[in-house]
Amino acid sequence: MNAPLQTKIMNNTELILRRRAIYTGMRPYFDDQKLLGAINLWQAEYSHKPKFALSVFIARCCDTPELKDERAKILKSIFIALELAPDELLSDPFVELKSVSKALAAGSTSDSPQQTVMFVALLNQLFSKFNKADEKQIRYIVLELLAEVKTDRMRMMYIREWFAKNTQILEGQFELEVLQKLVNICYMAMCQQLGPVKADQYLAQAIKETEPLASDAGFKLHDLL
């Protein structure tokens, strides 16, 4: 193989790895439509630029008040992803997002960020019912069961941090199926620790207390169950 061709292949491989890292780092924060646009922007204008240009790239992508507030966290998430091994990264977004693009063209809707907010509100109400010893044990059981949850590495890291109480805020946005699974795991943990009668009682109370907030946000809380 001649040297220029070998260099071109190596550069292309590095480009794909960096693109996968950008995608992995951004995935927890952006819905599919915004993410597709962001990856195309990075490829066209920032893929050849040094790391410090990523702050400008993120600033351009964060075009809502909510995303602007998350800029530092998104940038940190990307830097973490850039240090991951290839097998820890999500697949190439140019392959993965083709199906998303087709779905968007067909008129399907992306995940609502409200569902993550409502999930956190529901579980905060739920955990407020327990004494400290029961809460600690229930969180421990949930952490032990997280292998049942199918999501990407970055989101799983955020989930673990939140359930371990290492952070007060659950970072990122999550698919409804993931949130439903987490609620189910929490219920299983409550049943194990407190018994099914108390688990049903506490869950019903938490739902009732969170319903007004969900109603104001236009979200059907029972979609999480």
Report if residue 149 sits inside a domain.
Answer: yes
Domain that holds residue 199: 114-218
Looking at the fold, whether 206 and 136 belong to one and the same domain comes out as: yes
Report if residue 126 sits inside a domain.
Answer: yes
Per-residue buried b or exposed e for 194-214, using 16+ beta carbons within 10 Å of the residue's own CB? beeeebeebbeebbebbeeeb
Looking at the fold, whether 98 and 122 belong to one and the same domain comes out as: no
Q: Which of 49, 73, 105 is the last residue of a domain?
A: 105
Residue 96's pLDDT is 64
Residue 6's pLDDT is 40
Q: Which of 105, 132, 158 is the last residue of a domain?
A: 105
Looking at the fold, whether 11 and 82 belong to one and the same domain comes out as: yes
Residue 107's pLDDT is 45
Mean pLDDT of all residues in the chain? 84
Looking at the fold, whether 202 and 127 belong to one and the same domain comes out as: yes
Dihedrals phi, psi of 71, to nearest 5 degrees:
-55, -45
Q: Which of 105, 134, 157 is the last residue of a domain?
A: 105
Report if residue 200 sits inside a domain.
Answer: yes
- The DSSP result for the chain, as a single string, is --HHHHHHHHHHHHHHHHHHHHHHHHTTTS-HHHHHHHHHHIIIIITTS-GGGHHHHHHHH--SHHHHHTHHHHHHHHHHHHTS-GGGSPPPHHHHHHHHHHHHHTTPPPPPTHHHHHHHHHHHHHHTTS-HHHHHHHHHHHHHHGGG----HHHHHHHHHHHTTS-SS--S---HHHHHHHHHHHHHHHHHHH-HHHHHHHHHHHHHHHHHHHHHHT--GGGG-
Residue 103's pLDDT is 46
Report if residue 36 sits inside a domain.
Answer: yes
Looking at the fold, whether 153 and 95 belong to one and the same domain comes out as: no
Looking at the fold, whether 100 and 118 belong to one and the same domain comes out as: no
Looking at the fold, whether 90 and 137 belong to one and the same domain comes out as: no
Report if residue 224 sits inside a domain.
Answer: no
pTM of the predicted protein model: 0.63
Is the model's pLDDT at 111 over the cut of 80? no
C-alpha 125/C-alpha 209 separation (Å) is 7
% of the chain residues with pLDDT over 90: 42
In the structure, what pLDDT confidence band is assigned to residue 5 with cuts at 50, 70 and 90? very low
Is the model's pLDDT at 74 over the cut of 90? yes
Q: Where is pLDDT greater, at 105 or 10?
A: 105
Report if residue 225 sits inside a domain.
Answer: no
Is the model's pLDDT at 207 over the cut of 80? yes
Looking at the fold, whether 120 and 99 belong to one and the same domain comes out as: no
Looking at the fold, whether 202 and 141 belong to one and the same domain comes out as: yes
Report if residue 82 sits inside a domain.
Answer: yes
Is the model's pLDDT at 186 over the cut of 50? yes
Looking at the fold, whether 130 and 90 belong to one and the same domain comes out as: no
Looking at the fold, whether 119 and 99 belong to one and the same domain comes out as: no
The distance of Cα 73 from the centroid of its chain, to the nearest Å, equals 12
> Considering its fold, how many domains does the chain have in total?
2
